[in-house]
Amino acid sequence: MFSASDLRKGLKIQIDGDPWVITDFDFCKPGKGTALYRCKMKNMITGNTMDKTYRSVDKIEKPDLEEREMYYSYPDGEFFVFSDAETYEEMRISKEFLGKKIYFLIEDSLCQVLLFNGLAIDVSLPTFIEKEIAETEPGARGDTATNVTKPAKIDNGYEIQVPIFINTGDIVKIDTRTGDYAERVSKA
């Protein structure tokens, strides 16, 4: 259990069985009254936010959270298999849960998996990955503007917006947090 004086920005707590992260925190104290701890927090599963004020006597549950380093191994039907970097223990994470991250999985890349009560609630891939452009309209020669974009597909069919000068066969860097084009690595 945490006591109210442990509360601070970034602390992860449990309320009604859900993990929450404190996104904003302030100590306050009304005239001659008790210390109060005002928190803004975000549900780590649903992303919902709420405000809650704790009194100094309040106790707060500690969530069972564990961050593990895992290598992505291989796809298996509706699942993707990761293996623990230390124990090699395998974990299957569903396609549905991973969402568009499935397009950025690279075999043997090291990922951070956040577990709540033993179940994955967040997977962080390497921030940047490199992919080859499989299909896009030919680039306009000499046009180096980066603010004008066009659609392009990478090898697994994922579509991103790229600058006009990118050509099929170019290698580009993609930010896995947003799924957006970051920069060109090399020309075809």
Partner 1 sequence: MTTEELKNIKARLEIRAGLISAVRAFFDSRGFMEVSTPVLINAPAPEEYIEGISAAAGFLRTSPELQMKQMVCAGYEKIYQLGPCFRKGEFGSRHRPEFTMLEWYQTDIDYKELMDFTFELIKESVFALKASYEIEYQNETVDFSQAPEIINVADAYQRFTGKSVENADLTDEFDTLMVDCIEPELGKGKMTFLKDYPANRAALARLKADNKEVAERWELYVCGMELANAYSELTDPREQRMRFAEARRVRKTNGFVEYPEAEEFFAAMEKGMPECAGCALGIDRLVMLLSDSPDIGFINPDFA
156 binds partner 1 (CB under 8 A): no
29/92 with CB nearer partner 1? 29
Of the candidate residues 21, 36, 102, 182, the single one contacting partner 1 (CB under 8 A): 36
Count CA atoms within 13 Å of residue 134 on its CB side: 9
Of the candidate residues 17, 31, 77, 157, the single one contacting partner 1 (CB under 8 A): 31
Residue 37, classed as helix, strand or coil, is strand
Minimum CB separation of residue 55 from partner 1 in Å reads: 7
8 binds partner 1 (CB under 8 A): no
CB 60 within 8 A of CB 53: no
Minimum CB separation of residue 37 from partner 1 in Å reads: 9
Stretch that binds partner 1, among 25-33, 40-48, 94-102, 158-166 (CB under 8 A): 25-33
Q: Burial of 184 by CB count in 10 Å (0-12 exposed, 13-18 middle, 19+ buried)?
A: middle
27 binds partner 1 (CB under 8 A): yes
Minimum CB separation of residue 8 from partner 1 in Å reads: 11
22/152 with CB nearer partner 1? 22
Q: Burial of 48 by CB count in 10 Å (0-12 exposed, 13-18 middle, 19+ buried)?
A: exposed
CB 154 within 8 A of CB 132: yes
What number of other Cβ atoms are within 10 A of residue 36's Cβ? 16
Tokens 């009254």 identify what position? 33
Nearest one of 66, 63, 57, 174 to 114, comparing CA atoms? 66
Contact letters for partner 1, residues 42-81 (x by CB under 8 A): -----------x-xxx------------------------
Residues that bind partner 1 (CB under 8 A): 5, 26-36, 38, 53, 55-57
